Amino acid sequence: MHVHIVGNGAGGTGCWIRVTGLHRLMAWFMLRHIGLPISVLKGDLDRIYVERLLELVRTSSLGRVVILAHEQVYDEHGCLMKGFGSVYVPNDYVLRLALEHPDFLPAVSIHPARPDALEELDRCIAGGAVMMKCLPNCQNIDCSDRRYSAFWERMAEVGMPLLAHTGGEHTVPVVRKEFSNPKILEWPLQCGVTVIAAHSGTKSGLFDPDYFSIFEEMTKRYPRLYGDNSAFNTPFRGRPVPACIESPLAGRILHGSDFPVPIYGRWARMRGSISTEAFEQWRNHPNNLERDYQFKRAMGFSEMSFKRINNLLHLKKAQKNRAN
């Protein structure tokens, strides 16, 4: 799970991408990394990106992937903050992609301050959404704001899990740095929501604070809290691998990809998380999803860490049958 969809709207999808400066460089770098030319940013990005992703899923060891919508930035009163945010991927687009391709499961993205947040949640549930994704620090979501209680309670009631970004972020702009702390997820947890802390609170850049110990401590108090190991094959996020593969924390870790974020095994090898043989065997594998999967296995993540998500997603009967 945790696979990003991006688009520029060329395919009438409603997506947009607005990257400048360093974020533009990051976008170019990620496109090149997944084997797409930079020119697709101005071309038919929507179609080409999905075709490339489908090809990678189908030629990997993964059965299916959870694809993510990406919400816009709103203020706490539910007004759209124009000019903020660098990426938008509408819920309808990921819902449709999942209907067209059984390789995909759709995770929608809804800012709980939106005046229509509850209606949108119910509409997405009816449309087959399996999870709700948000980036509190980039989308300006104070999850502990009591005005959002009804939204979290509705998610808990229907069994819709929340995947929330934690730790620093460098691929999209950050609006509220303090919302990177996993502590912000305590209120949804107390409302009964199953919460997955994306990246398990680890730091992205060298100067980001590391919230991993806070995440780890919270797992002892909240049985519904999980963490994912997405982007653990980047320079800093993979540092707590030894703790993540040991019991009891290992039982709370889920495989996350963060595609199209680049996959490098070099840091894991330098830290001794993977052997030189495993590094050499997979370092040049052309399929990013497979390379990430194989590096994670070599790190010691269990078979269950790749499957645990199936028990947490809000799956309808037909989707459940396909998962088993």
Q: What angle do CA 165, 168, 172 make, to 5 degrees?
A: 75
Q: Among residues 133 and 269, whose Cβ is nearest to Zn ion?
A: 133
How far is the C-alpha of 117 from the C-alpha of 111, rounded, in Å?
Answer: 7
> Closest approach of Cβ 321 to Zn ion, in Å?
28
Q: Does 228 bind Zn ion (CB under 5 A)?
A: no
Q: Among residues 208 and 258, whose Cβ is nearest to Zn ion?
A: 258
Q: Please, which residues have CB within 8 angstroms of residue 184's CB and are 6 or more apart in sequence?
A: 136, 142, 143, 144, 164, 178
> Among all residues, whose Cβ is closest to Zn ion?
258
> Closest approach of Cβ 110 to Zn ion, in Å?
17
- Stretch 16-35 residues interacting with Zn ion (CB under 5 A): none
Angle between helices 288-299 and 45-58 (to 10 degrees): 40
> Closest approach of Cβ 125 to Zn ion, in Å?
22
> Closest approach of Cβ 188 to Zn ion, in Å?
18
CA distances from 271 to 209, 231, 283, 284 (A): 20, 16, 16, 19
CA distances from 126 to 129, 158, 168, 244, 319 (A): 7, 11, 33, 35, 13
- For 124, the 3-state DSSP assignment is helix
Total chain residues near Zn ion (CB under 5 A)? 1
> Closest approach of Cβ 135 to Zn ion, in Å?
8
Q: Among residues 129 and 135, whose Cβ is nearest to Zn ion?
A: 135
Q: Among residues 172 and 191, whose Cβ is nearest to Zn ion?
A: 172
String of b and e for 135-145 (b: at least 16 CB within 10 Å)? bbbbbbbbbbe
- Stretch 256-285 residues interacting with Zn ion (CB under 5 A): 258
Q: Among residues 46 and 258, whose Cβ is nearest to Zn ion?
A: 258
Instruction: Give phi and psi for 214, each to the nearest 5.
Output: -65, -45
Q: Does 292 bind Zn ion (CB under 5 A)?
A: no
Q: Among residues 4 and 269, whose Cβ is nearest to Zn ion?
A: 4
**Cis amide prior to 248 (ω within 30 degrees):** yes
- Stretch 238-257 residues interacting with Zn ion (CB under 5 A): none
Q: Which residues bind Zn ion (CB under 5 A)?
A: 258
